[in-house]
């Protein structure tokens, strides 16, 4: 698998996180009971898998490698701005999670539902644009075999940086756990 395919495969996982965030938002809006612990797990998955791991690979390895090719700098600049938007939404979600824990859910339910909805829209929009960008890179064979190898090695160091393959496996288990929760039906 080359570096571009690796990131596209991450996007499939991101879309599962998107579905979880979307469903959870709907259930919060319709006043269904969502355990606090599940909300906490969603924020951990967003922070560690989506942001630190996936966006980290793009920001530290893939984008620096592609930014000087084929006039991609404008696209990449936009992607980086969007990552910041995602971080802001995630931070606001986390802040309201703390309020829920300290003061009860009464005033936190609506903002949490809203930020989860925003985050799901962010993932759909952002991964959609990036997937098109990745398709162009693959169609035009923009990255050489050598560059791909370097990137894959760099991705490995990104993975070690977030706790290694054991931690990523745990992330996948947490996503599966959330998908199996009663409120996901």
**Of how many residues is the chain composed?**
185
Identify which of residues 58 and 75 has a Cβ nearer to Fe ion in the complex.
58
Long-range contacts at 92-95 (CB < 8 A, ≥ 24 apart): 93/43, 93/46, 93/119, 94/43, 94/47
Q: Which of 66, 95, 96, 94 is nearest to 80 (CA)?
A: 66
Identify which of residues 15 and 114 has a Cβ nearer to Fe ion in the complex.
15
In the complex, the smallest distance separating the C-beta of residue 82 from Fe ion, rounded to whole angstroms, is 7
Identify which of residues 62 and 100 has a Cβ nearer to Fe ion in the complex.
62
Stretch that binds Fe ion, among 97-105, 127-135, 139-147, 174-182 (CB under 5 A): 127-135
Question: What span, in angstroms and rounded, lies between the C-alpha atoms of 180 and 185?
Answer: 8
Identify which of residues 79 and 100 has a Cβ nearer to Fe ion in the complex.
79
Are 104 and 16 in contact by the 8 Å Cβ rule? The answer is no
For Fe ion, the nearest residue by Cβ is 130
In the complex, the smallest distance separating the C-beta of residue 134 from Fe ion, rounded to whole angstroms, is 8
Q: Does 48 bind Fe ion (CB under 5 A)?
A: no
Are 158 and 53 in contact by the 8 Å Cβ rule? The answer is yes
In the complex, the smallest distance separating the C-beta of residue 139 from Fe ion, rounded to whole angstroms, is 18
Site residues for Fe ion, 55-74, by CB under 5 A, read 58
CA distances (Å), 119 to each of 66, 86, 92, 148, in order?
A: 26, 7, 10, 30
Identify which of residues 8 and 181 has a Cβ nearer to Fe ion in the complex.
8
| Residue 169 per-residue DSSP state | H
Q: Which of 23, 46, 112, 130 binds Fe ion (CB under 5 A)?
A: 130
Identify which of residues 107 and 157 has a Cβ nearer to Fe ion in the complex.
157
In the complex, the smallest distance separating the C-beta of residue 118 from Fe ion, rounded to whole angstroms, is 16
Q: Is 147 exposed, middle or buried (0-12, 13-18, 19+ CB in 10 A)?
A: middle
Please count the residues of this chain forming the interface with Fe ion, following the rule CB under 5 A. Answer: 2
Chain residues that interact with Fe ion, rule: CB under 5 A: 58, 130
């Amino acid at each position: 698998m080359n570096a571009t395919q690796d990131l596209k495969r991450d996007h499939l996982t991101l879309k599962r996180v998107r579905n979880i965030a979307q469903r959870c938002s709907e259930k919060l809006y319709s006043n269904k009971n969502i355990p606090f612990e599940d909300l906490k797990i969603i924020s951990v998955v967003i922070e560690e898998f989506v942001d630190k791991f996936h966006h980290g690979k793009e920001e530290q390895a893939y984008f620096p490698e592609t930014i000087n090719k084929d006039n991609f700098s404008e696209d990449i600049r936009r992607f980086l701005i969007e990552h910041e938007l995602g971080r802001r939404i995630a931070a606001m979600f986390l802040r309201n999670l703390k309020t829920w824990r300290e003061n009860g859910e009464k005033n936190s339910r609506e903002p949490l539902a809203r930020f989860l909805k925003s985050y799901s829209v962010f993932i759909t929009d952002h991964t959609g644009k990036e997937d098109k960008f990745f398709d162009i890179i693959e169609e035009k064979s923009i990255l050489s075999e050598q560059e791909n190898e370097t990137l894959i090695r760099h991705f490995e160091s990104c993975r070690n940086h977030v706790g290694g393959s054991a931690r990523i496996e745990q992330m996948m288990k947490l996503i599966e756990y959330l998908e199996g929760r009663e409120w996901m039906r």
